[in-house]
Structure 1
Amino acid sequence: MKKRILAMTCAAAVAAAAVPVYGAEETAAEPAQSAEETVATNLGVMVNEEPVEFSGQQPVIVDNVTLVPVRGVLETLGVTVAWDAETHTITLTEGEKTGTLTMDSDVFQTGDTSVQMAAPAQNINGLAMIPLRAVAEYFGAEVGWDAENRMVLVTKAPEVQYLAEDTYEKVLKDENGNLLAEVKAIYPVLTAEVPEAARDTVNKNIAGLTMKAADTYLVEVKDEVTQEAAELGENFHPFQLVISYEDAFYGKGVLSYLTTVWEYRGGANGTTKGVGKIYDLQTGETKTLGDYINLQSGLTERDYMVQVFRRDMASNSEKYLEGAAQSLLDTNTNLGYYLKDEKTMVIFADQTTLKPHSEGIVKLEIPVNK
């Protein structure tokens, strides 16, 4: 580490332009904190063993809390930084993750979650300075401290691509070549470093189920769509089936996701159904709800899912359709589950079965307790 620190001036440094926190007019009304009010500490920051150079204000320690310019380190981690001068807020974005900082507040807001930082985001010499740990950890980095070299050490492993995608398309036409129905499918392909036999089993299962669903659909609708095309003539719209997936989770030895199946058979809107999957990546077999949730003796998976929805209906009845409780008793009402992450199970029901069509697939999150 000492050799690397001594060689910092020769390393390829990352330019770190800071976020100005006040415009020229506002600066006069609310002066920036002066350098004398902070503790000059000759701190350094390294991201994945590469030094970060800051133009202007350097990292400092204020009241025993290390503060760094907000832009330099986070942009090096792949986080986009946006400043709103009107509200004095900083929005941080990476992929689907978004967080918000407000000047002079020690709260880091991420969706519905508020994380208290070690100190407020603050203006030092006209630049936004923040305590790094809470923010960096939210975006998947680890933060350490090298006391001997007075160096903040930030590390973030490169994102592992554990999934690829494949497609399957098929059409049904009449004897004149006119389109009657079509299927478009996108499905996940596991590429992670797991036992080869398990990976092959999982991928074969996913592809097989997708293709079977597509082929079966075209067989099932053939007579119906042929008759409707003949009756409607120019007003006929081809039937469609679109298969996709969402909420993919890879971790703790499993791959889990929700397959969405959108179907259109005429009318104003199509409807979406769901199929949840949890694959064991050691064996290639599917896992059950009981592997993650303590089910009372004699309670089936469906009984448990019905209970989950009933509890939510009891406290949020206004969000459900009038006949939702009765629909739960109908065994034709599709209910399912999948893992959103290692701590969260999602119980779901198909679109329009329990809530209005605009709500899409109905999802309830419950904690894993096994």
Structure 2
Amino acid sequence: MPVYLDHAATTPISGPALAALIHELSRSGNPSSLHGSGRRARAVVEQARETLAAAAGAHPSEVIFTSGGTEADNLAVKGLFWARRAADPARTRILVSSVEHAAVQDTVAWLEKHEGAEVVWLPVDGDGVLRLDALKAELDGGAESVALVTVMWANNEVGTVQPIAGVTALAAGHGIPVHSDAVQAFGSIPVGFDSSGLAAMSVSGHKIGGPVGVGALLLGRAVKLVPVQHGGGQERDVRSGTLDTASIAAFAAAAQDAVGHLAAESARIAALRDALIAGVRATVPDAVLRGTDPGRNPAGRLPGNAHFTFPGCEGDSLLFLLDMAGVESSTGSACTAGVPRPSHVLLAMGLSEETARGAQRFSLGHTSVPVDVEKFIAALPDAYARARQAGMASHMSNIQTASTQR
């Protein structure tokens, strides 16, 4: 069995979620139908809605089921922008952190290109934490033109937890709604929608032990939202489409399990993370931890995230060499047409492109155990040495090519 250190991408389905999924897949019924099977399916969905709401600190009516975090982000950002602009055409600005997941980043870029939005990318510090002073300056300098603010609860690459309470407090003073992509945070650290001051919050099933293909948008009961897709008017007339009863039941079971064991499990996983960080530092002293250092600020980083840059090598090379050694990790960066690109998150944190190319993310979850960390640390030095050697060879080849072309 390989050592799986990519739980931030997706984590194995939990026992309670699998049981709920199998149970519901053995039955049928459209929850919008009025006959017995339909009413039974509807009851399952509504029970799941109540369970998920309790886990997320929300009212059941605030839970809008979606196909995942990406759809929830699109629905929130587009829907809020359209609704706010319709109410006041002057509200065309979107304030967004510069380290957002592509689901938010690409959505606001689309609104800028096709819908006339003006996007303001808010800076972060060297740990990837949003600069609240920059947000305050944008609000104080022209809040009347702001449609919404969107800031993720915790970063998917470097694990940095954002000051959501500070964000919502600043926005509330101007009556501006705030959306947060909480996909990485929910089920990993305490997350409460009602107490957050957020207008909308996105969560996903497969990040917490549920199945792939289901998520939810937590949406305040008084918040106006323009639908992105139209049809039967399910989910408060905000998100049409036949509901996936089995996946919704499994998602709720996973959420209840994750939140029910949150304190103990977060502490267990954080201890594994700290052992992993110490092991990397001991075996590869050149590696640099990126994001908030948990030794300095334990609450400032997700318990399961350890992100390093390894100088002198490409992240993809290290990933494949670790994979060959039986360790599965992630570069945390985008890749288009087979050409690796440095992470926009690391660049926003002030790293150079060359440094950012050596990124590697190691993320732990509910199936992680101490031996996983031990095996990884044992495999790392050789993998890094080989990746660095390959990087140096490539660098020399580029120099020789450039010299020949002069």
TM-score bracket for the superposition, by shorter chain length: under 0.3
Q: Higher helix share goes to which structure?
A: 2
TM-score normalized by structure 1?
Answer: 0.25
Higher relative contact order (CA 8 A, sep 6+): 2
Q: Higher strand share goes to which structure?
A: 1
